[in-house]
Structures are given as structure tokens and as C-alpha cells.
Amino acid sequence: MDKISVIVPVYKVEQYLNDCVNSIVNQTYTNLEIILVDDGSPDNCPKMCDDWAKKDSRIKVVHKENGGLSDARNAGLNVVTGDYFVFVDSDDFVHVDYIKNLKNGIDKFDADLALSSHVRFIDVISEYNNEIDYTYHDRYEAFKRLVNWHKDYVVAWGKLYKTSVYGDLRFIKGKINEDEFYINNVYMLSKRIAYINAQTYFYRVNPNSIMESNYSSKRINAIEALEYRDDVLTGLGYTEFLDNNRRSLLFLIICTYYEAKGAGYKQDAKFLREIYKKWYKVDKNAFPKNDKIRFWLFRYLPPIYKLLYELNRKIKCKKK
């Protein structure tokens, strides 16, 4: 039985940590190496991690200075000894068959990577799909789904990675939207990818998380991630996906611009306008008619566009 390493970055989640670790130690796939990375958490989490290590010999704890989610995941990757690895965020939890299903997908199709579907919840999970259907596809299809914002394809968690293929990849320290940088590199290395439609990863929407917090300049990282994806798609020759990616990029710039302006970040707003001008010129003739009108209005008549933006912002700026 192959060993699977489970990397859990831990920071200020003492109310959720036990639920998370419980869901991992009780997996039906038992040959696990569970790596709890205490990212300098100032609460009771460091002790909780150590207590868990005393209860289960499969658990190892890494204590480190706070460096953020990317740095914590990298610290876990640095000590992985498993044939495969997964990421589980410490405020989330997983179904008892989560790892077993992913490994079955790998074995069934001789895949490098397996993906599972997930459920997002705030307090209570009302229902979810646990009917298993295994399919597989190649790198091209993965990028197609990524560009079209398939929810299971844009995040680092919810996946089983073959260590011999992906073990040298690392997250960029200090970035938010770190998943979107990382996942582009993952798919570039992938040949066969298994997809399991069962919803076995439970993602907690935490209002205190980075992605749910108020505006900061780091929101621009999301734009950088889409710019990087544009380079990746161009390099791979997947030019048929560029229009969709650039359309998403322009809408994201617009959304981020209004967030920055509303929060009083004038320099960021100015910078975002300049980025917009650059990307508007690149593909302005390739978009659907309605989007051409919207993009033109934002470029030349922003006060009028703002009226449209306020009407449509819940749709266009909806978190993926």
C-alpha cells in the first residue's frame, strides 16, 4: 500500500483544528503520513498539534515562524516522505473515503493527479453528492476547465499528487491566490488526470480568512496569477483559451479597481487602470459584443460604467 502524506497548514484555527484532524486520522485509507505545520500560531494550536502527535504515530508536527499559507505548505512539502501527497486546510475537513477515492482514481487510470469535487459551507452542510463516478482526461482538458473557472480545478486542495511528478514544485511565498500560481505549474506537468465527482472535501467559508477580508494591495496578486496563466497558455500553444482568460482578467481588474478605490487605495487604483489599458489593447476585438461595450465604457467613460458595475457586480465579482 502506497504511503500518502497529508499536509495541513495550521494558523489560528483552534476552534476547527480537531474536526479537521479527526477527519484525516479516521480515513479508510490508513497508510498515511500526517504533517501538521504550525505556522507560528499564537493561540492554542501548537499544543493541540503536539497532543495529536502523541495520540497517533502517523502524525508529525513542524513548528515554524509565521510565514503565511504558502510558506507553511512549502514547509510540509519539504518533509514529505509519501509516494503521494494531499493538502487539507485546517479549517476544512474531509469525508472518511476522501483519500481512498482519490487513490482509486489514480490507480484506475494510471494517473499522475486525481481531483475530487467539494462542498462550500458556512456553518452547516445541508446535503452533498457522494455518488462516485470516475473519469479521466489530459492536460489540455484541465486547462480548458481551469480557464472556464470549474470550481474543482482552481485550488490546490481537493487533489492527490504523485510525489515523483510534483514533489519539487513550491508555492510562491507572500502571495495570496497562491493556488492559482501553483496549479498552473501542476497542470503543465500532468499527463493523465483522474476526476472523481463525489463531493468529499468540505471547504469552510471563513469570514476571517485572507480571501474574505477587506481590501489590501495583495488582491493584485490574483491579477498577476491570470497574467501568468496567459504566459503558460501561450507557451503551451493553447491559444484558443486566451480570449476567455483575458476576458476574466479584464473583469477581475475592474472589480479590483473598484475595491481599491472604495477602500481609498488611490495608487493601487491608478496602477490598475494602467494594467487595464495594456490588456484592453491586446484582445479588445475578440470579445462578445456586450463585453466589448462594457470594456469600452470602463476604458473611456468610467462614471457610466460604474452605474453598470453596481448593477452587475454581484455576478461579475462573485467569488469562485
pLDDT tens figures, 175-201: 888 899 999 999 999 999 999 999 999
Selection from 156, 164, 169, 32 nearest residue 103 by Cα: 32
Distance CA 219, CA 241 (A): 24
How much is the pLDDT for 213?
58
Distance CA 240, CA 237 (A): 8
Encode burial over 3-27: b for 16+ CB neighbours within 10 A, e otherwise.
ebbbbbbbbbbeebbeebbebbeeb
Q: Which residues of the chain have pLDDT under 50?
A: 319-320
How much is the pLDDT for 123?
77
DSSP class of residue 167 equals: T
Selection from 4, 11, 13 nearest residue 35 by Cα: 4
User: Under a CB-based contact definition with an 8 Å cutoff, are residues 67 and 39 in contact?
Assistant: yes
pLDDT (tens digit, 9 = 90+) per residue, 46-56?
Answer: 999 999 999 99
How much is the pLDDT for 194?
98
Distance CA 222, CA 29 (A): 35
How much is the pLDDT for 313?
61
User: Under a CB-based contact definition with an 8 Å cutoff, are residues 112 and 193 in contact?
Assistant: yes
Homologous superfamily (CATH) of 4-204 is Spore Coat Polysaccharide Biosynthesis Protein SpsA; Chain A (3.90.550.10)
